[in-house]
Amino acid sequence: MDIDLVPANFLEFQEMLYDIALTKHNRFRSNFVFRGVGDKCWGLETSLQRMGSHAASIERPLLRNFLKYAGPGEIASDALLYRLALAQHHGLPTRVLDWTTAPKVAAHFALSNENHFGVDGAIWCIDVASARRVLPPTIHTILAAEDAFVFSVEMLEKYKTLASFDEIDPKNDFVLFFEPPSLDGRIINQGAVLSLMPGPELDLKNYILRPENKDLVKRIIIPAAIKWELRDKLDQDNVSERMLFPGLDGTARFLTRYYSMGPNQTAGKVVPVNPMT
C-alpha cells in the first residue's frame, strides 16, 4: 500500500516510529494513535466483525445481555461509550477497536505472539487531529469546546444507545476516538484509546484508505528480520506483559515468552541472561 513505510533495519524503524514534529508550544507531542498487528496482511476488523456475517444482528443482544447479567454495582454509568469500553475490556465482542497513544506499546502487541515472527508485522498509525476535522459538527463542537485531543465518555454521555449514536450523521461515515475510563491498571499502563464508527459493519480500513482521507493514516512495517531484535529490546525497556497486564496473569505470560526457545528453536537448552536468572 502507498501508505506503507518500510524500514531497512531497527534504527530506521525507531526513527519512523518517533517521527514527531514540534508543536506550536515547541513540544514533541504526536497527533497519532497506534495499533500493532502481528501480520501486515491483517486489516482493522473489530472483535464484533470477526464474529462473522451475522455480526450486525447480534450486536445489540450481546450488549443487552452483558448489561443484564452484570452484578450489582458493576455498571457505573448508562453512557454508551462507557458501556462499550467496559464490554470491550472484559472481552465481549464490540464495534470498538483498541489503540494506544504509546508507539512502543503498539510494537509490543505486534510482537506478542512468536507464532507470527516469520512474517512482516505492522503498526497502523492514525492522525487523530485530521480525523477530528471531519467529524460531524454535532460532536466536533463538543470536542473543540473542551479543547481535547480525544473524547472522554463524559463528553458524549447524552448518547445512551447504539441507535442514537448511529443517527448522529446518518448520511456520512466517520470515526471518533475516545479514552476509556481507568477501569484498572491495564488500561492506564497501555495508554488505551478506542475507536468507534456509526455502524457495526463499517470497515475502518476501507474508510481511512479513501482518497479524501489519505492524510489520516500511515503504516509502519515491521520486517520479520528485525522482530526478534525489537522484541528483546522492548523487554529490555520493560515494555512487556508484566507491565501492560499488571498482576500474576501478565507476569506468567511474560515469563512463558521470555523463557521460550527464541529464534534458535532447535537449541538444546535455554540459557537466560541476567537479571531473569
**Residue 250: pLDDT band by 50, 70, 90 thresholds?**
very high
**Span 188-211, average pLDDT:** 96
* Residue range 109-148, pLDDT digits in tens: 999 999 999 999 999 999 999 999 999 999 999 999 999 9
Amino acid at 143: L
**Residue 176: pLDDT band by 50, 70, 90 thresholds?**
very high
Cα–Cα distance for residue pair 165/36, rounded to 1 Å: 27
Amino acid at 95: R
Residue 267 pLDDT = 43
Alpha carbon 218 to its chain's center: 15
C-alpha cell at 159: 448518547
Q: How many CA atoms lie within 13 A of 224 on its CB side?
A: 11
Q: How many CB atoms lie within 10 A of CB 183?
A: 15
- The more confident residue out of 148 and 274 is 148
Cβ neighbors of 130 (< 8 A, separation 6 or more) are: 31, 215, 216
Cβ neighbors of 223 (< 8 A, separation 6 or more) are: 6, 7, 120
